[in-house]
Amino acid sequence: MKERILKQFRKNRLSVFSSRFILAMLIVALLADFLANEKPVVCNYKGRIYFPVFRSYLVNLQAARWQDDFQNADWKTLNYDWSVFPPIPYLPENIDKNNLHSTSPFSQQPVKAMRWRHWMGTDELGHDILSAMIHGTRIAILVGLISMVIAGFIGVLVGSLAGYFGDEKLLISKGQLFSAAVFVPLSFFYGFSTRYYVLKDSISESLTGFILQVLVSLVISAFVLFIGYRLGKTAGRISFLSKRVRIPVDLILSRLMEVLTSIPTLFLIISIVAVAKPSLFLVMAIIGLTTWTGIARFMRAELLKIRNLDYIEAAQALGYSEKRILLKHAIPNALTPVFIALAFGIASAILIESTLSFLGIGVPPETLTWGSLLSEARQTPSAWWMAVFPGFAIFITVTVYNLAGEGLSDALDPRLRKES
């Protein structure tokens, strides 16, 4: 099966090229600090060997601190015994005072040596454009992947529940229904509403801190839901609360998806980030929380088809629980269209982030992204390189993800597989 899908995918040369280009972008994103950095990758200083780039990861994660010799150090002027610098010896936030006011990549630049040259020019403040492009690749990939992980999780969960249970399959006692009506809002209140400011502050500090705080909120919510579940089970044993009622899961979740789909996603995101503290992690979370409806619709359609197949009926006849059937049999066999939606979704997320950066909303002003470079280009129309390079990068990235998604869609199309 996998071999046939791969063979079908390879027939589309544009999709194969796009997948390889995406792989190259991932490598650039992972190695951004080793490709463009003011710190040496490895150096010998005062008789000792250091790895400053590796150390910077630990410092950013607050797992270590800089040695005394490197506290507030100017890495370019230290007297190393020997050192190995990245190919581009600049970080996006570094300012070259000798190349202010948008230096062209083809003009003469007052630099000490060719290795210090700004190969894609500088912006008005003397930031190196090539370094900003390399680190902007990491931001674009990170936004696309993390936002789609969030959207994928929510979409798969909501779509699976709507498609598998429909409007008639989920039966619960009145006691459980009453407990859910009380404890679901309480779980959200205690898990997220009361911790709003903690979550908001953690977003602006670091991704690690934000993830930890979200996990704490999820644990609190899960604990409240567990209490509600146990009380609901107990209440369900009372005679007048034991009667089972049907929950129209599909109707409720489908109406929720329609409401969210009817709201313009970009305007909704702009409205939220405009009143919140600028943070890249907040942008990722909001994109993920507002773009899951397409994935949910795919999952719903697949589950409506799968729930009536023979192997699902066989699992039910064997007495397996609905949870086991859903998680181990139904969802794994319905994920095919999700991968296609994720590929297109990553392209959409990158475009949304670039739009927000261009408008100066959501992303901190000191963070240089492809969209923020385009925004700067408006202030200096003569600096063509500030518009061409990031604009071309956005165009190519969105195009290759769409081409890869199209190739994946064709490869997973059962009609094309039969023809081949």
Is residue 110 assigned to a domain? no
Residues 196 and 77 in one domain: no
| Residue written as token pair 């319905």 | 334
Give a yes or no: residue 16 inside a domain.
yes
pLDDT reported for residue 415: 53
Domain endpoint, select from 85, 119, 145: 85
Contact by Cβ (8 Å): 231, 179: yes
> Any residues with CB less than 8 A from the CB of 286 and at least 6 apart, and which?
269, 272, 273, 362
In a domain, 101, yes or no: no
Residue 202 shares a structural domain with residue 288: no
Please indicate, yes or no, whether residues 178 and 327 belong to a single structural domain of this protein. no
Residue at 107 is within a domain: no
Instruction: Categorise residue 16: left if φ over 0, alpha if ψ from -120 to 50, beta otherwise.
Output: alpha
- Count CA atoms within 13 Å of residue 196 on its CB side: 6
Query: Among 246, 274, 308, which residue terminates a domain?
Result: 246
Q: What is the pLDDT along the chain (420 residues), one digit of tens a residue?
A: 567 777 777 888 888 899 999 999 999 999 999 999 989 999 998 888 999 998 888 887 777 888 888 888 888 888 888 989 999 999 888 888 888 888 888 888 888 888 888 999 898 888 999 999 999 999 999 999 999 999 999 999 999 989 888 888 888 888 888 888 888 899 989 888 888 888 777 766 666 677 788 889 989 999 998 998 888 888 877 877 788 888 888 898 999 888 888 887 777 777 777 766 777 887 888 888 888 898 999 899 888 888 888 888 888 888 888 888 888 888 888 887 788 888 888 999 998 888 888 888 777 777 888 998 888 888 888 889 989 999 999 999 999 998 888 888 877 765 554 454
Number of domains within the chain: 3
Rg, C-alpha atoms of the chain: 26
What's the domain range around 5? 1-37+129-170+248-420
Q: What distances in angstroms separate CA 53 from CA 33, 38, 98, one per listed residue? A: 7, 9, 25
For position 135, what pLDDT does the model report?
A: 92
Q: Are residues 70 and 157 in the same domain?
A: no
Asked whether residue 95 is assigned to any structural domain, the reply reads: no
Output the domain CATH number for residue 339. Answer: 1.10.3720.10
Of 53, 85, 117, which residue constitutes the final position of a domain?
85
Structural domain contains residue 92: no
Does one domain contain both 340 and 403? yes
**Are 263 and 349 members of one domain?**
yes
Is residue 98 included in any domain, yes or no? Answer: no
Q: Are residues 242 and 211 in the same domain?
A: yes
Q: Answer yes or no: is 109 within a domain.
A: no
Shared-domain flag, residues 292 and 406: yes
Say whether 247 sits in a helix, a strand or coil: coil
**Same domain as 389, residue 313:** yes
Same domain, 225 and 278: no
- Determine which helix (DSSP H) or strand (DSSP E) holds 127, and give its type and residue range: none
Q: Are residues 151 and 220 in the same domain?
A: no
What pLDDT is attached to residue 413? Answer: 63
| 254 and 137 within one domain | yes
